[in-house]
């Protein structure tokens, strides 16, 4: 039975899921199989999944005291949905055991976006072309961290003012139009700063050593920029993506356009950014 976990990981890889997802979802399925000791996938029914779901609420943490958070339990449910959808599509099972089951949606705390003034403060503090490029990728283009890591030189067309996300979340692709100033800023980074490392591979963004920027590199670069801007807050690159989504919606952009801009599969994911009114956004 555990061989199927490896096959599931390969399936996620083919679909273009991020490396983190390729590790976390199979780990959830491995826990599920270990809990039930099932003889085959075909032997798993709705009652088995319900029992596992109830057990997750009681299962102690592997490290430290306490039990799993609602978000983590929701992650297990998501893993089960992806896994059994794959089994159904592959013809390994005839009926999805999750059909008809309802789970409590985890309560997600709302992340307060940056204000327009705070975003401008970050851009004003950016002293290098790479810092400007980083802000544009996450704010102006609304990229996920994994999408920025995978971005290649060939994915950005300066004259055409287009940025191609070849493999977004769930292997979804999209094209992001670039305003003139954004296309110019990204091109200047490539020509002037990145140009010193032309033989360092296809990655769009490089670190000081000329190697491809990883997720942690982006986080450290943003943290350094926050210090220079004297902004005493702990934010990740995703905050910039969150902020542009909120600003577009507050500016009157349609929910459907923002959904396509962000690469969301459904409007429900985009609606998270539309919760606060303009008067609720934190001001300086």
pLDDT tens readout for residues 171-226: 678 999 999 999 999 999 999 998 887 777 899 999 988 889 998 899 999 999 99
264 is catalytic: yes
User: Which among 139, 218, 239, 273 is annotated as catalytic?
Assistant: 273
- The region, left, alpha or beta by phi > 0 then psi within -120 to 50, assigned to residue 202 is alpha
Please state whether 243 falls in left (phi above 0), alpha (psi between -120 and 50) or beta: alpha
Q: How many whole angstroms separate alpha carbon 9 and alpha carbon 16?
A: 11
Catalytic residue at 78? Answer: no
Q: Which one of the listed residues 9, 242, 259, 264 is annotated catalytic?
A: 264
Q: Inter-axis angle of helices 255-262 and 237-250, to 10 degrees?
A: 160
* Start-to-end Cα distance in the chain: 56
d(CA 113, CA 282): 8
Identify the CATH homologous superfamily for domain 116-280: Intergrase catalytic core (1.10.443.10)
The stretch 139-157 carries a mean pLDDT of: 93
Kindly name the residue from 169, 242, 247, 259 that is annotated as catalytic: 169
pLDDT at 138: 96
Output the pLDDT for position 281.
Answer: 34
Closest to 184 (Cα-Cα) out of 164, 158, 149, 203 = 158
Q: Is 144 a catalytic site residue? A: yes
Would the pLDDT of 130 be above 90?
yes
Q: Which of 136, 241, 242, 259 is catalytic?
A: 241
Q: What's the CATH fold of domain 3-89?
A: DNA polymerase; domain 1 (1.10.150)
- The mean per-residue pLDDT over the stretch 230-243 comes to 88
Q: With 60 as the cut, is the pLDDT of residue 278 above it?
A: no
| Residues sharing a CB contact under 8 Å with residue 261, sequence separation 6 or more, in sequence order | 142, 174, 176, 245, 248
Nearest-5° angle of CA 215, CA 81, CA 274?
Answer: 60
Is the predicted pLDDT of residue 72 greater than 90, yes or no? no
Q: pLDDT grade, residue 282 (50/70/90)? A: very low
Q: Above 80 in pLDDT, residue 44? A: yes
- The whole-number pLDDT of residue 284 equals 26
How many angstroms separate the Cα of 201 from the Cα of each of 13, 187, 260? 22, 17, 29
User: Cα-Cα-Cα-Cα dihedral of 226, 138, 178, 281, to 10°?
Assistant: -70
Q: Give the burial string for 212-247 (b: 16+ CB within 10 Å, else e).
A: bbebebbeebbeebbeebeeeeebbbebbbbbbbbb
Average pLDDT over residues 221-232: 92
Mean pLDDT of the chain: 85
Domain boundaries, the chain: 3-89, 116-280
pLDDT band of 268, cuts 50, 70, 90 = low
Percent of the chain residues past pLDDT 90, beyond the cut: 51
Catalytic entry in 144, 242, 247, 259: 144
Which of 10-14, 97-101, 180-184, 269-273 has the highest mean predicted lDDT (pLDDT)?
180-184
For 198, phi and psi rounded to 5 degrees? -60, -25
Strand duo 174-177 + 156-157: pairing? unpaired
- As a whole number of angstroms, the distance between CA 129 and CA 182 comes to 12
Tell me if residue 169 is catalytic.
Answer: yes
Q: Out of 91-100, 168-177, 245-254, give the one with best mean pLDDT.
A: 91-100
102 as an active site residue: the answer is: no
Average pLDDT of the residues in 74-99: 92
């Amino acid at each position: 039975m555990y061989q199927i976990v490896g096959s599931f990981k390969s399936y996620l890889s083919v679909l273009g899921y991020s490396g983190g997802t390729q590790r976390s979802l199979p780990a959830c399925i491995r826990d599920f199989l270990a809990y039930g000791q099932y003889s085959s996938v075909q032997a798993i029914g709705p009652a088995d999944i319900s029992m596992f779901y109830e057990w997750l609420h009681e299962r102690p943490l592997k490290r430290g005291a306490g039990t799993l958070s609602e978000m983590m339990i929701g992650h297990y449910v998501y893993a089960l949905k992806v896994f059994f959808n794959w089994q159904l599509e592959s013809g390994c099972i005839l009926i999805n055991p999750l059909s008809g089951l309802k789970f409590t949606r985890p309560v997600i705390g709302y992340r307060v976006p940056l204000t327009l003034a705070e975003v401008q403060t970050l851009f004003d503090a950016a002293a290098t072309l790479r810092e400007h490029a980083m802000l544009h990728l996450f704010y102006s283009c609304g990229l996920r961290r994994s999408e920025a890591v995978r971005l290649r030189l060939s994915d950005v067309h300066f004259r055409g003012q287009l940025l191609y996300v070849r493999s977004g979340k769930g292997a979804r692709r999209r094209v992001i139009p670039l305003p003139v100033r954004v296309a110019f800023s990204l091109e200047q980074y490539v020509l002037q700063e990145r140009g010193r490392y032309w033989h360092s591979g296809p990655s769009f963004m490089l670190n000081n050593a000329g190697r491809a920027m990883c997720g942690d590199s982006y986080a450290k670069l943003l943290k350094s920029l926050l210090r220079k801007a004297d902004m005493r807050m702990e934010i990740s690159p995703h905050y910039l993506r969150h902020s542009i989504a909120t600003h577009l919606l507050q500016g009157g952009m349609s929910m459907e356009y923002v959904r396509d801009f962000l690469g969301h599969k459904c409007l429900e994911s985009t609606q998270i950014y539309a919760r606060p009114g303009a008067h609720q956004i934190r001001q300086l």
